[in-house]
């Protein structure tokens, strides 16, 4: 009976649109691209071990952000630049968990920044 319940829960949970296990360098910024459909809600989870002082922030930036400008900026300046185009932002201490209702159909950028300047492993998922 327990196996059946576990199976039913696993098949009823949708697969993530983005599922990334990654590592970020001390003070670095990482970027991922996703496609949005206007009006849909997206659940964005950024998990990491914050018991060691690690702190990551996340921004979902609109397609109005100039990719070429962003990619050429030094650490932290890229993160500040991306904030000017924020559709959703998680800037709390610890694990980030946010909902984005897509305001348009098209590309968006997920920006992960090591605000705690410790670096380390993280798990990013978008549902």
Give domain status of residue 7, yes or no. no
Give domain status of residue 10, yes or no. no
**Terminal-residue alpha carbon distance, the chain:** 28
Per-residue confidence (pLDDT) for residue 13, from 0 to 100:
64
Per-residue confidence (pLDDT) for residue 50, from 0 to 100:
80
Q: Which two tokens stand for residue 88?
A: 């959703």
Give domain status of residue 5, yes or no. no
Rounded-to-integer distance, Cα 76 and Cα 123, Å? 21
Give domain status of residue 87, yes or no. yes
| Phi, psi (degrees; rounded to nearest 5) at 102 | -65, 125
Residue 52 maps to which CATH number? 2.60.120.380
The answer to whether 101 touches 40, Cβ cutoff 8 Å, is yes
Rounded-to-integer distance, Cα 113 and Cα 59, Å? 8
Rounded-to-integer distance, Cα 81 and Cα 65, Å? 8
Give domain status of residue 1, yes or no. no
Instruction: Give the mean pLDDT per block of 10 residues along the chain (127 residues).
Output: 45 81 94 97 93 90 96 93 95 86 98 92 96
Give domain status of residue 41, yes or no. yes
Per-residue confidence (pLDDT) for residue 8, from 0 to 100:
45
Per-residue confidence (pLDDT) for residue 116, from 0 to 100:
86
Give domain status of residue 46, yes or no. yes
Number of domains making up the chain: 1
* Range(s) of the domain holding residue 120: 15-126
Per-residue confidence (pLDDT) for residue 91, from 0 to 100:
74
> Within 13 Å of residue 119, how many CA atoms lie on the same side as its CB?
7
């Amino acid at each position: 009976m327990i196996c059946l319940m576990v199976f039913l829960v696993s098949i009823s949970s949708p697969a993530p649109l983005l599922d990334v296990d990654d590592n970020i360098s001390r003070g670095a910024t990482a970027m991922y691209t996703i496609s949005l459909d206007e009006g849909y809600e997206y659940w964005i989870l950024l998990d990491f071990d914050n018991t060691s002082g690690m702190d990551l922030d996340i921004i979902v930036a609109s397609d109005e952000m100039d990719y070429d400008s962003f990619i050429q900026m030094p650490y932290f300046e890229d993160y500040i630049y991306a904030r000017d185009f924020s559709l959703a932002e998680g800037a709390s201490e610890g694990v980030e968990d946010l909902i984005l209702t897509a305001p348009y159909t098209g590309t968006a950028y997920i920006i992960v920044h090591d605000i705690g300047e410790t670096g380390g492993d993280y798990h990013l998922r978008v549902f």
